[in-house]
Structure 1
């Protein structure tokens, strides 16, 4: 008995770690409470405006180092007229490169604030746009920096013929964000309902025969139905994350699945965050281009989520500092949400189109630093795309990419559910991302054709 007791004590840490694997809770992150007020962040001392968003928009600079610019002035333009703007007034310090929140090394315009007044709406726009003219409306949307629905054609910046937009078949306006910790769309839905009504009315007049859906939180469904059902079909979305995953939600509404290797707009489908629809109304009415963005700050030890509105190109440090927070007080600063966001190397990274910052107070570490897969199957059972995640992950890990292809890793949404429930805390999403976006990028078209058969 003494020898057995000694053996148990010797292996006690490993056994505790082993049993801990099966006691992990799989509750998804959410916000316990939130401040309903959208707080305005003051202008920073400088902004950094990235010019390249791979797969979306590429801007060519229209300014150079030493130029004085005013808030609302165009500083970058794509071949099709998509514009990037100075979000503060000041002097262009330099045109350099920066790491973006998407982990992309991009050319960028750095502007140092001089406190001067920005351009007036009359200086920026030639009055409102007639809603009945879709071509003029599209040109204004592009020139005002409201880019997300049109990102396919906005990417074209080289020589040669520009690819046109496909015929629009359906529109989905997101009044609820995919990440449960991001509240921007929900708050704007409630607080700018009149502007949203105008935006939906405009959308209906421009696309009279196209189905348009507005997704809203379940608890706002009756209210939204009474306000917006004249122009769109209002769809209630449950609070749990699996029902909010964008690709799955789009598939349910359309009755067809769009391959992950294809953009929505390439299939004639617009999926637009409500915030950009509001910005579209401002642009068409000649009120303002897209100069500011809303973002929700939440975290593992935050009792109340905070939503702010900040000038585009503000740093993570400036946004957090405006609310008395410091990235150095946390183990990780994730831009986006806890499920699909990207951990930041530096708090000086500029923020433009992301809608959340999630602060992680304490890292979770597996009991074994090697983090071996124990083939528990949790990742496969939770996968909304039905991938045999545990098998394909191990194949990728050991370089068996040809065998991994047969299990269709390209179907991955990168929603993060598999990594969230993994008891060993393995880098599952990162391995799938590596496989799809780095190693086999040139062959994804072949996978696409195989999946269609």
Structure 2
């Protein structure tokens, strides 16, 4: 009994916004980058270069079916076109470029000046060539141009100035430090979609800045420093006044959702300043006094990004790419980083007392679930292979937000079980949660 009671003690609280350095630090170019080409559910690129080719930073090295481009983030030689494990645990084809210290392409070698405001076709071509897939289309992974034309008109654009994970500060720092440029981006979106409703989510502590800078350009939605209040699907539902089915694409409902960082990349592309070759990421952790936000070349390894700040993966028991609620644990510091927003470093790990501890039917997971899934029941059905019964309780509504796992006293792998159940429902791939499972 004491062992059972111990489960309820010392449960970690949901992470709050950490103390942080407001300066976004620039990471130097690494000796090589590895740029994945496959982003399941989003976009798939095909290489337009081959091993041995010399490329320059800013040059397109891959394209999707609809002409969206992936851009070289350093100058050098294409060492290999291979497959790698990405930070999202996806086995993806990738292009490896070795840095030769060569000069990047100048803006006038990439662009022919700025794009005239309101010229949507020219804007779409420019964004695609600059590695910024237009947010009001589909990615080109599975859809042809004919199907694109059948999509409903965009009625609402939601621009997120707040990341769901409270430990990831990229969006709010960029929003605060580039307010005038964000305002320009809102004007651009308005010029392309004059009939659409433009909405911007903002950290509550930036209310005075937002009222001064963005009033009249977008509807403003202020969010508190709470993970529960920042879950994207919940925020979008709040903005719309209705829910979008969890497994459905926003675009199929006339909605486009993009981050502030992506909005800034759109402005740079349309103004002919630069293609998308860099990304910001926040490094946080319980032993890091102040969270650090850096800007790094796409395809840099975890090791390179951490080393730039004097950190080593071996000094921590676990490295999570993303945030502590929905991130992916990494087992190699050579994993490339591309469209990731956070690295969370764990110095002291707590493991469950069993591989899968038994559910004690406390109901905490169901009470905290934002979409009211009977999580404890679904989990036990999945654990014992009763997927047909689990389907009747709609596990596909799961956001995989991690709230259930964060309150589970038995520390069960709740999110993983739900993820594999939904993967089975979509792809027909079943995973057996037993010792030596298949």
Q: TM-score, normalised by structure 2?
A: 0.95
Match in the other structure for 1:391: 377
1:31-430 aligned within 5 A: 31-147=17-133, 149=135, 152-156=138-142, 163-164=148-149, 165-430=151-416
- Larger mean CA deviation between 252-261 and 289-298 belongs to 252-261
Residues in 2 aligned to 1:263 and 1:297: alpha-carbon distance in whole angstroms: 30
Distance change in 2, residues 1:52/1:368 (3 Å) = closer
Shift of 1:129: 0.7
Secondary structure at 1:76's aligned position in 2?
A: strand
Count of residue pairs the alignment pairs up: 428
Q: Is the 8 A contact 2:66 2:145 kept in 1?
A: no
Shift of 1:148: 7.0
Q: Is the 8 A contact 2:38 2:93 kept in 1?
A: yes
5+ residue gaps, structure 2, are 430-438
Match in the other structure for 1:440: 425
Shift of 1:362: 1.4
Q: Is the 8 A contact 1:57 1:151 kept in 2?
A: no
Give the alignment's Cα RMSD to 1 decimal. Answer: 1.7
Residues in 1 aligned to 2:316 and 2:188: alpha-carbon distance in whole angstroms: 44
Residues in 1 aligned to 2:227 and 2:384: alpha-carbon distance in whole angstroms: 31
Q: Is the 8 A contact 1:178 1:245 kept in 2?
A: yes
Residues 139-183 of structure 1 deviation map (CA, whole Å, 9 limit, x = unaligned)? 2112211127257342138x8965445311100110111100000
Distance change in 2, residues 1:86/1:150 (3 Å) = farther
Residues in 2 aligned to 1:44 and 1:200: alpha-carbon distance in whole angstroms: 34
Q: TM-score, normalised by structure 1?
A: 0.91
Residues in 2 aligned to 1:152 and 1:160: alpha-carbon distance in whole angstroms: 10
- Larger mean CA deviation between 26-35 and 42-51 belongs to 26-35
Distance change in 2, residues 1:61/1:298 (3 Å) = same
Structure index of larger Rg: 1
Residues in 1 aligned to 2:148 and 2:428: alpha-carbon distance in whole angstroms: 22
Residues 54-79 of structure 1 deviation map (CA, whole Å, 9 limit, x = unaligned)? 11111111100000000001100112
Residues 223-254 of structure 1 deviation map (CA, whole Å, 9 limit, x = unaligned)? 20111012101110011111100001101110
5+ residue gaps, structure 1, are 1-13, 445-453
Residues in 2 aligned to 1:436 and 1:370: alpha-carbon distance in whole angstroms: 19
